[in-house]
Amino acid sequence: MPPAPGRDGRGHSGHHPSKSWEPLLFILKALHICFVMSWFAGLFYLPRIFVNLAMAPEQSSAERERLLVMARKLYRFMTPLGILALGFGLWLWVAYGYTGGWLHAKTALAGVLALFHLFCGVLLGRFARGENTRGHVWYRYFNEVPTLVMFVVVYLAVAKPF
């Protein structure tokens, strides 16, 4: 049985959730991690569709339309996943009294991911209106942003270094 939060003095303000609460803690944490993973599938794949849209020749409207339909469906699917991923994280924080600089840094980086998600919505709108001005190389670098943030956030979540 993993140690309940707080036994190592880090993680929350010292009171321990009573044994009867622990099952809910583990269910919330499992849901948090599952929705984070699902959200990241979209955060990784949507910019990849943008790379293909930026490379699609102007005259191939059928291919562009197919990619746009995929991107719209993915954005609609990944938005509630992001809300649930962050919602369960905040629920854990509030319900179990976690504390520590790691959690503040992690939440700030989660905010960066949420802004990245919303900006993908803006870029999708521009592609749909034929107003995209960026090339596929720019989207390839853009695609790496969630990967870099993921490594830092997961390290903060697991190691709680400060």
* Smallest gap from residue 101 Cβ to ligand HEM (A): 13
Min separation Cβ 57 and ligand HEM, Å: 36
C-beta separation of 102 from 160 below 8 A: yes
Q: Which positions ≥6 away from 103 have C-beta within 8 Å? A: 93, 156
How many other CB atoms are there within 10 angstroms of residue 123's CB atom? 21
Alpha-carbon gap, residue 126 to 149, rounded angstroms = 25
Looking at the Cβ atoms of 90 and 118, the one nearer to ligand HEM is 90
- Smallest separation (angstroms) from ligand HEM to the CB of 68: 27
Select 39 or 127, whichever has its Cβ closest to ligand HEM: 39
How far is the C-alpha of 80 from the C-alpha of 63, rounded, in Å?
27
Nearer CB in complex with ligand HEM: 109/128: 109
Q: Which residues bind ligand HEM (CB under 6 A)?
A: 5, 11, 29, 32-33, 36, 86, 89-90, 92-93, 98, 106-107, 110, 113, 150, 153-154, 157-158
Residue 143 CA to residue 51 CA, distance in Å, equals: 9
Nearer Cβ to ligand HEM, position 104 or 126?
A: 104
Do 50 and 127 contact (CB within 8 A), yes or no? Answer: yes
Minimum distance of ligand HEM from residue 36's CB (angstroms): 4
Query: Which position's Cβ is nearest ligand HEM?
Result: 89
